[in-house]
């Protein structure tokens, strides 16, 4: 299943290239203007940029001094936070969520309900601890039983509502995680519709369509924000700064790389050790938490909440903000959000006035009636179409371009004789005598009418190279899929180091020490060479999402060690990959992509390496080079199971060879024995040739 579907990567690449080629003069002008800036190191540039943006944000109210504009800006900041949150779900993890406003609503009503007079249950002593904390009051009217007056603190509910929304993120995420692409989008669309409807139909909690009233505003050191936009503005700036920081920290971490791997190729991510279910839920939860906090902020600012504030167009608007700004780039999506929000609250009104004036001038009644603010969805649509046509990666793209290699760097130094370095992370496995490293018993897989793998028994002893050969369609790749957990066998068992691993999920099998490459390349195309290899390290690293943000010394040390190990692994291939560590995988030559797949697999420190036609598409010199390198890996202690069509390579490096035909193992033994076997000759060359031999 994993290997037969062709990836549409080629079309996407071509499209992106065409998009970039759309306006060459813009690119040239940009390059000329930005040319000198490129000399400043990226980290310093980012720091200066962030400092300048923060300074501008802090000075903005002093410069503008117009209450209305500050208010518009404070609202825009709320949407920028929403864009940051949705960016984690859509931009990082690649999960298309069309109902994101649902989490915004959940956060908003969570705070709204506990900070307004909407619900007032009868007083009972159980409320006493909350009263002691100052979160509720006891309301007394003569002649009636006492009731509870809720006034939960805004500062408590900011993280509190984020947690509640995160909980719902996991709740909504869990049933939808098996879905991909369009299906996920449709289900999330459904959730986005359901939440406002539930809100409208539970008037006791939410006051229904009328909306909550009298939500209390935040108070700090005795100062109550009230309807003054200025403190909200500064609070928004602080929140944005914090959440941008969190976004970048996550992005450039074990967690962020795993998300991006899922976005790029879910199956490959699983096969590299990423627990897809957990990481997708995490993305949903983190994204929802951002929205929950924003809901609290927004409702506290408006002091009301109605279901209309959280309908489908809001979800779409946030999505358009992300596409406009640059999917996957936190700074970009904030810029996109601010542009769209200010477009609505500042410019469209002015442009409408101008259009009316123009209409009066030319005597066109139609122009005098145009209301651009009402056509905002049309404008969003136009923005989307224009972005897709001319700049798909957004105003500020997430992937950076890297400088071209110098000629010396490009010149490969083909080397025979294997790997000149030793890999510190690869150790020989110690197994009890007589235990094979891998053993399959009666392994069987059926796809409808055909039996792709039939009753295959195979034993792989440690520190050997076993060649798996057979005509096309004989079930070799399916056999790999069964061993690595990408397909579940219909019969038989798989044992690794004496333990039964049949039907275990792919990421767990990587943890146990089996790594693989794919016949049809499955690299993470929009990630760099280094990032691809680091994803291979996922199963061997531990950093959690919190660790990734806080970066305690243990996480820093782990990350540094992972990077060092990644470079060590890339060194296997001499100067083929090393000069290209910061290049996107999609920019590599075909042979280099094959090498990168091997490096990514080796990075997971496997005991058993499964290579599916690693030399396909390589020229004879490259093939021999790779054969030597595979032999070196064995000498370092790895065990290799190798699917290969080039029999020269198989003869050269395999200790044993097994032959599959129509899913059945028809021969096994040393290479030269197997090639004399009549069944094998018949399978490869047909019956008449066998008769002649
Ligand atoms: P090989 O790698 O030896 O060329 P495969 O394992 O890819 O062969 O395929 C073995 C057989 O199983 C082929 O007939 C192929 O069409 C079939 N097959 C493989 N994967 C699937 C799938 N997901 N659905 C249906 N048939 C499949
Ligand atoms: Mg195959």
**The domain spanning residue 218 has which CATH number?**
1.10.3470
- Can you give the pLDDT at residue 672? 87
Produce one character per residue of 63-87: b if its CB has 16 or more CB atoms within 10 Å, e if not: eeeeeebbbbbbbbbbbbbbbbbbb
Q: Please determine, for residue 22, whether its predicted confidence score (pLDDT) is greater than 60.
A: no
Q: Please determine, for residue 18, whether its predicted confidence score (pLDDT) is greater than 60.
A: no
Assign 37 a pLDDT band (cuts: 50, 70, 90). low
Q: What is the DSSP letter of 35?
A: G
Domain annotation covers residue 169: yes
Assign 373 a pLDDT band (cuts: 50, 70, 90). confident
- CA of 481, nearest ligand number: 1
Which of 130, 151, 172 marks a domain boundary? 151
Tell me how crowded residue 402 is: count the other CB atoms within 10 A of its CB: 13
Report CA(472)–ligand 1 centroid distance (Å): 9
Atom number of ligand 1 nearest to Cα 472: 4
Assign 687 a pLDDT band (cuts: 50, 70, 90). low
Question: What is the token pair recorded at 545?
Answer: 């999402």
Domain annotation covers residue 6: no
Domain annotation covers residue 50: no
- Are 228 and 105 part of one and the same domain? yes
- Are 197 and 87 part of one and the same domain? yes
- Are 461 and 323 part of one and the same domain? no
The finding on whether 478 has its CB within 6 A of some atom of ligand 1 is yes
- Are 127 and 177 part of one and the same domain? no
The finding on whether 3 has its CB within 6 A of some atom of ligand 1 is yes
- Can you give the pLDDT at residue 24? 59
Q: Please determine, for residue 2, whether its predicted confidence score (pLDDT) is greater than 60.
A: no
- Are 511 and 628 part of one and the same domain? yes
600, 602, 670, 673: which is closest to 639 by C-alpha? 602
- CA of 469, nearest ligand number: 1
Assign 34 a pLDDT band (cuts: 50, 70, 90). low
Residue range(s) defining the domain that contains residue 465: 438-692
Q: Please tell me the residue having the least CA distance from ligand 1 atom 1.
A: 473
- Can you give the pLDDT at residue 4? 43
Render pLDDT for 422-469 as a digit per residue (tens, 0 to 9). Answer: 787 788 888 888 899 999 999 999 999 999 999 999 999 999 999 999
Q: What is the CATH number of the domain that holds 680?
A: 3.40.50.300
What pTM, to 2 d.p., does this model score? 0.90
Q: Please tell me the residue having the least CA distance from ligand 1 atom 15.
A: 473
Quick check: helix, strand or coil at residue 560?
helix
Atom number of ligand 1 nearest to Cα 2: 23
Which residues lie below 8 Å from residue 149, measured CB to CB, with a gap of 6+? 117, 120, 136, 137, 138, 139
Q: Please determine, for residue 221, whether its predicted confidence score (pLDDT) is greater than 70.
A: yes
- Are 309 and 176 part of one and the same domain? yes
Question: What is the token pair recorded at 308?
Answer: 């209309």
The finding on whether 481 has its CB within 6 A of some atom of ligand 1 is no
**Cα angle for residues 231, 235, 241 (degrees, 5° grid):** 145
Distance in angstroms (rounded) separating the CA atoms of residues 148 and 377: 43
Least confident stretch, 131-145, 400-414, 532-546, 637-651: 400-414
**Average pLDDT rounded to a whole number, residues 63-80:** 92
The finding on whether 476 has its CB within 6 A of some atom of ligand 1 is yes
Domain annotation covers residue 44: no
- Are 474 and 555 part of one and the same domain? yes
- Can you give the pLDDT at residue 512? 96
Domain annotation covers residue 255: yes
- Are 312 and 452 part of one and the same domain? no
Q: Please tell me the residue having the least CA distance from ligand 1 atom 23.
A: 1
Distance in angstroms (rounded) separating the CA atoms of residues 337 and 247: 16
**Average pLDDT rounded to a whole number, residues 328-340:** 94
Report CA(480)–ligand 2 centroid distance (Å): 9
Q: Please determine, for residue 517, whether its predicted confidence score (pLDDT) is greater than 60.
A: yes
The residue with tokens 């944005």 is 240
**Average pLDDT rounded to a whole number, residues 219-238:** 91
**Cα angle for residues 572, 256, 394 (degrees, 5° grid):** 105
- CA of 447, nearest ligand number: 1
Question: What is the token pair recorded at 573?
Answer: 């291939």
User: How far, CA to CA in Å, does 20 sit from each of 1, 317, 331, 389?
Assistant: 34, 25, 21, 10
The finding on whether 473 has its CB within 6 A of some atom of ligand 1 is yes
**Average pLDDT rounded to a whole number, residues 104-113:** 96
Assign 32 a pLDDT band (cuts: 50, 70, 90). low
Q: Please tell me the residue having the least CA distance from ligand 1 atom 2.
A: 477
Report CA(295)–ligand 1 centroid distance (Å): 50
Render pLDDT for 544-591 as a digit per residue (tens, 0 to 9). Answer: 999 999 999 999 999 999 999 999 999 988 888 999 999 999 999 999
- Are 201 and 73 part of one and the same domain? yes
Distance in angstroms (rounded) separating the CA atoms of residues 461 and 494: 14
Which residues lie below 8 Å from residue 510, measured CB to CB, with a gap of 6+? 271, 272, 273, 484, 539, 604, 606
Assign 175 a pLDDT band (cuts: 50, 70, 90). confident
288, 74, 54: which is closest to 171 by C-alpha? 288
Tell me the helix, strand and coil percentages in the chain, rounded to 5: 60, 10, 30
Q: Please determine, for residue 16, whether its predicted confidence score (pLDDT) is greater than 90.
A: no
Report CA(98)–ligand 2 centroid distance (Å): 37
Share of the chain above pLDDT 90, in %: 63
- Are 529 and 634 part of one and the same domain? yes
Domain annotation covers residue 429: no
- Are 323 and 443 part of one and the same domain? no
Higher pLDDT, 609 or 691: 609
Q: Are strands 639-643 and 608-612 parallel, antiparallel or unpaired?
A: parallel
Report CA(449)–ligand 2 centroid distance (Å): 19
Assign 594 a pLDDT band (cuts: 50, 70, 90). very high
Which residues lie below 8 Å from residue 402, measured CB to CB, with a gap of 6+? 528, 582, 583, 584
Domain annotation covers residue 52: no
- Can you give the pLDDT at residue 27? 60
**Average pLDDT rounded to a whole number, residues 242-269:** 96
The finding on whether 474 has its CB within 6 A of some atom of ligand 1 is yes
Report CA(470)–ligand 1 centroid distance (Å): 13
Q: Calculate the average pLDDT of the chain.
A: 89
- Can you give the pLDDT at residue 513? 95
- Can you give the pLDDT at residue 415? 62
The finding on whether 343 has its CB within 6 A of some atom of ligand 1 is no
Question: What is the token pair recorded at 313?
Answer: 């167009």
Domain count, the chain: 3
Distance in angstroms (rounded) separating the CA atoms of residues 275 and 539: 9
- Can you give the pLDDT at residue 8? 41
**Average pLDDT rounded to a whole number, residues 298-324:** 93
Q: Please determine, for residue 487, whether its predicted confidence score (pLDDT) is greater than 80.
A: yes
Q: Is the alpha carbon torsion for 445, 448, 452, 454 positive or negative?
A: positive
Domain annotation covers residue 653: yes
The finding on whether 472 has its CB within 6 A of some atom of ligand 1 is yes
Assign 17 a pLDDT band (cuts: 50, 70, 90). very low
Q: Please tell me the residue having the least CA distance from ligand 1 atom 25.
A: 447
- Are 140 and 204 part of one and the same domain? no
């Amino acid at each position: 299943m994993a290997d037969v579907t062709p990836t549409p990567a080629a079309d996407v690449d071509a499209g992106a290239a065409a998009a970039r080629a759309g306006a060459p003069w813009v690119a040239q002008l940009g390059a000329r203007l930005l040319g000198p800036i490129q000399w400043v190191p990226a980290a310093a540039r980012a720091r200066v940029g962030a400092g300048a943006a923060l300074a501008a944000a802090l000075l903005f109210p002093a410069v503008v001094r117009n209450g209305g504009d500050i208010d518009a800006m404070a609202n825009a900041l709320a949407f920028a936070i929403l864009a940051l949150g949705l960016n984690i779900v859509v931009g990082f993890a690649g999960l298309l969520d069309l109902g994101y406003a649902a989490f915004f609503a959940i956060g908003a009503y969570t705070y709204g309900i506990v900070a307004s007079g909407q619900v007032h249950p009868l007083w009972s002593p159980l409320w006493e601890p909350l009263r002691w904390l100052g979160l509720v009051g006891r309301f007394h009217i003569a002649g009636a039983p006492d009731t509870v007056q809720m006034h939960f603190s805004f500062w408590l509910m900011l993280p509190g509502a984020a947690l509640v929304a995160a909980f719902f993120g996991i709740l909504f995420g869990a049933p939808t995680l098996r879905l991909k692409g369009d299906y996920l989008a449709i289900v999330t669309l459904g959730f986005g519709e359901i939440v406002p409807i539930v809100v409208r139909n539970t008037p006791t909690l939410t006051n229904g369509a009328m909306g909550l009233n009298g939500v209390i505003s935040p108070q700090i050191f005795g100062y109550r924000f009230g309807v003054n936009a200025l403190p909200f503005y500064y609070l928004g700036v602080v929140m944005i700064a914090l959440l941008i920081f969190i976004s970048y920290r996550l992005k450039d971490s074990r967690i962020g790389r795993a998300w991006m791997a899922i976005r790029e190729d879910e199956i490959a991510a699983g096969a590299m050790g990423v627990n897809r279910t957990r990481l997708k839920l995490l993305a949903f939860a983190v994204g929802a938490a951002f929205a929950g906090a924003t809901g609290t902020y927004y409702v506290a600012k408006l002091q009301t909440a109605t279901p209309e504030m959280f309908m489908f167009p809001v979800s779409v608007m946030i999505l358009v903000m992300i596409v406009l700004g640059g999917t996957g780039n936190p700074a970009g999506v904030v810029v996109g959000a601010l542009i769209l929000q200010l477009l609505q609250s500042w410019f469209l009104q002015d442009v409408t006035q101008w259009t009316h004036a123009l209409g009066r001038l030319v005597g066109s009644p139609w122009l005098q009636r145009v209301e651009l603010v009402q056509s905002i969805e049309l404008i969003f649509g136009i923005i989307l179409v224009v972005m897709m046509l001319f700049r798909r990666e957004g105003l500020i793209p997430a992937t950076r371009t890297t400088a071209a290699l110098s000629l010396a760097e490009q010149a490969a130094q083909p080397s025979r004789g294997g790997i000149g370095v030793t890999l510190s992370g690869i150790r020989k496995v110690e197994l009890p005598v007589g235990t094979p490293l891998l053993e399959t018993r009666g392994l069987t897989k059926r796809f409808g009418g055909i039996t792709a793998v039939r009753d295959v028994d195979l034993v792989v002893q440690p520190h050997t190279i076993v060649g798996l050969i057979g005509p096309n369609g004989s079930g070799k790749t399916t056999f790999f899929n069964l061993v690595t957990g990408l397909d579940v066998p219909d019969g038989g068992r798989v044992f690794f180091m004496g333990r039964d691993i049949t039907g275990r999920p792919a990421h767990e099998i990587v943890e146990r020490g089996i790594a693989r490459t794919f016949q049809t390349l499955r690299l993470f195309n929009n990630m760099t060479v280094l990032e691809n290899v680091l994803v291979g390290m996922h199963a061997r690293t531990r950093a959690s999402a919190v660790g990734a943000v806080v970066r305690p010394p243990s996480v820093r040390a782990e990350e540094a060690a992972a990077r060092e190990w990644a470079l060590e692994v890339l060194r296997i291939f001499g100067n083929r990959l090393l000069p290209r560590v910061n290049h996107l995988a999609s920019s590599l030559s075909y042979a280099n992509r094959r090498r990168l797949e091997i490096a990514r697999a080796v990075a997971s420190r496997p005991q058993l390496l499964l290579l599916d036609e690693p030399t396909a598409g390589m020229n004879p010199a490259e093939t021999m080079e790779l054969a030597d390198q595979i032999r070196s890996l064995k000498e370092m202690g790895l065990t290799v199971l190798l699917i290969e069509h080039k029999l020269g390579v198989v003869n050269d490096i395999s200790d044993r060879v097994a032959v599959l035909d129509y899913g059945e193992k028809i021969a096994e033994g040393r290479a030269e024995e197997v090639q004399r076997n009549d069944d094998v000759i018949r399978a490869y060359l047909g019956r008449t040739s066998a008769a002649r031999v």
